[in-house]
Amino acid sequence: MKTKVPRSYWFISTLALIWNALGCLAYLSMQLMPQGALEAMPEAERALFESTPEWVTSAFAISVWFGLLGCIFLLLRKSLAHPILIVSFIGIVTQQIWNFFIGKTFEVFPPEQALMPIVVVLIGIYLIYYSKRAKTNNWIN
């Protein structure tokens, strides 16, 4: 049984959808990058981009597309949002393991560039928490 949801639910779910849509655009821009843009990158950035393994790119795809789908399910008030957002988070963590511990990301980019990946992880955690809360409060079923 669904109950009336607070306005904040719609606001948060819509912001989350926009956030994940921007992630999808970032993924697509990376995948569809013209050769000229790649050649215009500084050498270290280009080498990092070209050496990124497929499993990291796949994790990126999983994180953003499942995140988008999970937020659509939030807006449709479907409890499937919660497990889908967990899958998205697994993609986030997998990608960030590469960025922080395996790849040479922060040898190429300055340490302050680590802020965005940290924000991505925190938002992923929050969306899992929020979808669970929505389920507990019967805002979704």
Q: How confident is the model at residue 2 (pLDDT cuts 50, 70, 90)?
A: low
Checking if the pLDDT of 66 tops 90, the result is yes
Mean pLDDT of 50-72: 97
Q: What's the token pair of residue 60?
A: 């990126």
Asked if pLDDT for residue 133 goes beyond 80, the answer is yes
Mean pLDDT along residues 109-134: 94
pLDDT at site 1:
61
Average pLDDT over residues 11-33: 97
Q: What is each CA distance from 97 to 6, 58, 62, 71, in whole angstroms?
A: 36, 13, 15, 24
Q: Output the pLDDT for position 110.
A: 84
Q: What gap in Å lies between CA 41 and CA 47, rounded to an integer?
A: 9
Q: How far apart are CA 35 and CA 49, in angstroms?
A: 12
